[in-house]
């Protein structure tokens, strides 16, 4: 009997020339696609909204950085509340004037440069937030579709186990088999029922997780999406860390740190404050002009320490950029290897081996009903089929997860994130 089963298995492997599917779920079904889920999630994503708000805040800060210092209105009253003829306000002299700070050293342009780099970094954060959202939605969609496929397989396995129990009951009642066969078949049915319950709970959880992200119940899925492997799933991305979002964020930090160095240097140049006003002389009731100039003396704080701190932060940003490059290169290389392995596993698990396991189980069921195979042969064939189906789904899910992770790691930064003047 074992030789007959092995022969059927070998014949099926040799005859299989097309990729087998993981069961009756392979047919194309209309339902929620990944692109639709991504659109729904972006419209409902608080993370993207927060990043957009960060851009608006950075743009407002950029406008603030471009403003010049405000003038001041000065009012002075002299020769009041004294003694003799200066008691009270009879000898008061009132001066009303205006002072205007004049910035030197390129402080305004340095502030604008810092604000520009911060705006560019905020815009990068929006792109990164969308890329992170795409990865998260893809992973949840992948898990939800895989759970649906596992649920269909679990239902199929329960139906097979129920039919096996019925066949064993018929054989026992006819006196062609021991009651032990009926007990073994009942155990297989109980295990299948338990597996179905677990698959149902996993499906409910996966659907709920995706629903939270897209803002509504996902409904039906495009179950055939899971079978798209390799060239059918899109072009392979090049493993290049340059120009990726991860590296662009580190480069934005370097640009900001360099702009901070320039701003610290500009702060060392003292600013000049000009003032002009009019003074009313109480004794003669005359009015005279008053002019003034003030210039701070950098006696205690000459700004050198601020430059040293800014330079140290710039050196730190440059070093962290190199760290980010190494990490990105390593992560991309690892993700590429994971994707290649997952693709190979997916093709192998969903190829002739699955078709052979399905055919062997079908032959074993027919042979068992006709008394040609024993129950142990049938149970072994069913166990092999269940494991092969599960491995096929796991391999496909692992492939799509690895592909999504690689796409996130190699996501390109926008060509221009500079703030507009």
Of 13, 40, 18, 79, give the one whose Cα is nearest residue 280: 79
Instruction: Please compute the mean of the pLDDT values over residues 137-149 and round it to a whole number.
Output: 94
Report whether 248 contacts 325 (CB < 8 A).
no
Both tokens of residue 315? 């050196």
Domain boundaries along the sequence of the chain: 2-68+103-268+303-409, 71-102+269-302
Phi, psi at 281, each rounded to 5°:
-95, 115
| Separation of alpha carbons 404 and 41, rounded Å | 16
Which residues are CB-contacts of 403 (< 8 A; sequence separation ≥ 6)?
233, 339, 342
Q: Which CATH number fits domain 2-68+103-268+303-409: 1.20.1600.10, 1.10.10.60, 2.40.50.100, 3.40.50.720?
A: 1.20.1600.10
Can you spell out the DSSP letters for 324-345?
Answer: HHHHHHHHHHHHHHHHHHHHHH
Phi, psi at 239, each rounded to 5°:
-85, 85
Phi, psi at 177, each rounded to 5°:
-150, 160
Query: In the prediction, which pLDDT does 375 show?
Result: 67
Can you spell out the DSSP letters for 183-235?
Answer: HHHHHHHHHHHHHHHHHHHHHHHHHHHHHHHHTS---SB-GGGGG--GGGG-P
Q: What is the chain's mean pLDDT, rounded?
A: 82
| Separation of alpha carbons 22 and 369, rounded Å | 25
Phi, psi at 192, each rounded to 5°:
-65, -40
CATH class of 71-102+269-302: mainly beta
| E strand or H helix at 47 | helix 46-65
Note the pTM of the prediction, 2 decimals. 0.76
Per DSSP bridges, beta strands 286-294 and 272-281 are antiparallel
Of 154, 196, 227, 142, give the one whose Cα is nearest residue 386: 154
Instruction: Report residue 86's pLDDT band, with 50, 70 and 90 as the boundaries.
Output: low
| Angle subtended at Cα 305 by Cα 304 and Cα 311, rounded to the nearest 5 degrees | 90
| Separation of alpha carbons 73 and 294, rounded Å | 15
pLDDT digits over 215-236, tens only? 889 888 888 888 888 754 444 5
- For residue 262, how many C-alpha atoms fall within 13 Å in the half-sphere facing its CB? 17
Instruction: Please compute the mean of the pLDDT values over residues 363-376 and round it to a whole number.
Output: 73
Looking at residue 98, what DSSP letter applies? E
| Separation of alpha carbons 102 and 117, rounded Å | 25
Query: In the prediction, which pLDDT does 257 show?
Result: 95
pLDDT digits over 265-319, tens only? 999 999 899 999 988 877 777 888 889 999 888 888 888 999 999 999 999 999 9
pLDDT digits over 90-136, tens only? 667 888 999 999 999 999 999 999 999 999 999 999 999 999 999 99
């Amino acid at each position: 009997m074992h030789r007959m089963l092995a022969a059927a298995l070998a014949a099926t492997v040799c005859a299989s020339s097309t990729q087998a599917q993981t069961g009756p779920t392979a047919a194309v079904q209309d339902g929620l696609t990944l692109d639709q889920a991504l659109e729904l999630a972006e419209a409902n994503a608080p993370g993207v909204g927060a990043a957009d708000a960060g851009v608006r805040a950075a743009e407002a800060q950029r406008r603030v950085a471009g403003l010049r210092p405000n003038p001041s209105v000065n009012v002075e009253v002299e020769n009041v509340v004294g003694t003799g003829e200066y008691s009270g306000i009879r000898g008061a002299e009132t001066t009303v004037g205006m002072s205007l700070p004049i910035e030197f050293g390129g402080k305004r342009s340095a502030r604008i440069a810092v604000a520009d780099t911060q705006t560019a970094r905020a815009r990068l954060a929006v792109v990164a937030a969308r890329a992170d959202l795409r990865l998260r939605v893809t992973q949840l969609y992948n898990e939800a579709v895989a759970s649906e496929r596992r649920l269909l397989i679990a239902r199929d396995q329960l139906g097979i186990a129920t039919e096996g129990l019925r066949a064993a009951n018929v054989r026992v009642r006819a006196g062609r088999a021991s009651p032990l066969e009926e007990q073994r078949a009942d155990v297989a049915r109980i295990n299948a029922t338990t597996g179905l319950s677990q698959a149902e709970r996993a499906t409910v959880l996966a659907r709920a997780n995706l629903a939270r992200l897209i803002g509504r119940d996902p409904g039906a899925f495009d179950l055939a999406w899971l079978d798209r492997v390799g060239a059918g799933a899109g072009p392979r991305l090049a493993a290049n860390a340059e120009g990726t979002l991860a590296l662009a964020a580190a480069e934005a930090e370097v640009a900001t740190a360099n702009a901070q160095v320039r701003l610290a240097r500009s702060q060392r140049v003292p600013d000049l404050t000009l003032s002009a006003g009019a003074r009313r002389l109480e004794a003669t009731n005359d009015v005279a002009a008053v002019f003034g100039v003030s210039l701070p003396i950098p006696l205690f704080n000459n700004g050198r320490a601020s430059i040293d701190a800014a330079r140290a932060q710039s050196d730190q940003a440059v070093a962290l950029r190199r760290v980010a490059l190494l990490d990105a290169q390593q992560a991309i290389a690892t993700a590429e290897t994971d994707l290649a392995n997952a693709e190979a596993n997916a093709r192998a698990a969903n190829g002739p081996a699955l078709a052979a396991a399905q055919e062997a189980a079908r032959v074993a069921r027919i042979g068992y009903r006709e008394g040609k195979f024993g129950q142990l042969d049938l149970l072994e064939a069913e166990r092999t089929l269940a494991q092969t189906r599960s491995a096929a789904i796991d391999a496909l899910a692992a492939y799509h997860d690895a592909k999504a992770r690689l796409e996130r790691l190699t996501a390109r930064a926008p060509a221009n994130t500079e703030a507009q003047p």
